[in-house]
Amino acid sequence: METTLRGVGVSHGVAIGEVRHMGTAVLEPPAKQIPAEEAEREQGRARQAVEAVAADLNARGNLAGGEAQHVLEAQAMMAQDPELIADVERRIAVGSTAERGVYDAFAAYRALLANAGEYLAGRVADLDDVRNRIVARLLGVPMPGVPDSDEPYVLIARDLAPADTALLDPALVLGFVTEEGGPTSHSAILARALGVPAVVALPGAGEIAEGTVVAVDGSTGEIFVEPSEEKRAEMESASAARKAALSAVTGPGATSDGHKVPLLVNIGGPGDVPAALEAGAEGVGLFRTEFLFLDDSKQAPSEDKQVEAYRAVLEAFPEGRVVVRVLDAGADKPLDFLTPADEPNPALGVRGLRSLLDHPDVLRTQLTALSRAAEGLPVYLEVMAPMVADRTDARAFADACREAGLQAKFGAMVEIPSAALRARSILQEVEFLSLGTNDLAQYAFAADRQVGAVSRLQDPWQPALLDLVALSAEAARAEGKSCGVCGEAASDPLLACVLTGLGVTSLSMGAASLPYVRATLAKHTLAQCERAASAARAADSADEARIAAQAVLSGE
Give me the active site residues, please.
186, 486
Q: What are phi and psi of 412, to 5 degrees?
A: -130, 140
Separation CA 218–CA 16 (nearest Å)? 11
Burial class (CB in 10 A: 0-12, 13-18, 19+), 280: middle
Q: Among residues 14, 49, 13, 9, which one has the least CA distance to residue 29?
A: 49
Answer for the pair 353, 419: CB distance below 8 angstroms, yes or no. no
Paired with 225 in beta bridges are 3, 214
- Residue type at 126 in one-letter notation: D
Helix (H, G, I), strand (E, B) or coil at 262: coil
The edge-to-edge listing of strands for the beta sheet with 213-217 is: 3-6, 222-225, 213-217, 14-21, 153-157, 173-178, 198-200, 8-11
Which contacts qualify for 88-95: CB closer than 8 Å, 24 or more apart? 88/43, 88/46, 88/50, 89/43, 89/46, 92/34, 92/39, 92/42, 92/43, 92/46, 93/39, 93/43, 95/33, 95/34, 95/36, 95/39
Angstrom CA distances, 276 to 286, 509, 553, stand at 12, 10, 28
Q: Could you write out the DSSP letters of every residue in 401-457?
A: HHHTT--SEEEEEE-SHHHHHTHHHHTTT-SEEEE-HHHHHHHHHT--TT-GGGGGG
The neighbour count for residue 481, using CB atoms within 10 Å, is 18
- Concatenating the DSSP letter of every residue in 12-74 gives -SEEEEEEEEPP------------GGGHHHHHHHHHHHHHHHHHHHHHHHHHH-HHHHHHHHH
Read off φ and ψ for residue 492, nearest 5 degrees: -90, 115
Q: How far is CA 205 from the centre of its chain?
A: 22
Q: What is the DSSP letter of 496?
A: H
Cα gap 25→23, rounded to integer Å:
7
Nearest to 88 by CA among 138, 25, 129, 122: 138
What are the residue ranges of helices labelled H in 273-390? 273-278, 290-293, 303-314, 353-358, 360-374
Query: Which element (helix H / strand E) includes 324?
Result: strand 321-325
Question: Of 87, 517, 520, nearest to 264 (Cα)?
Answer: 517
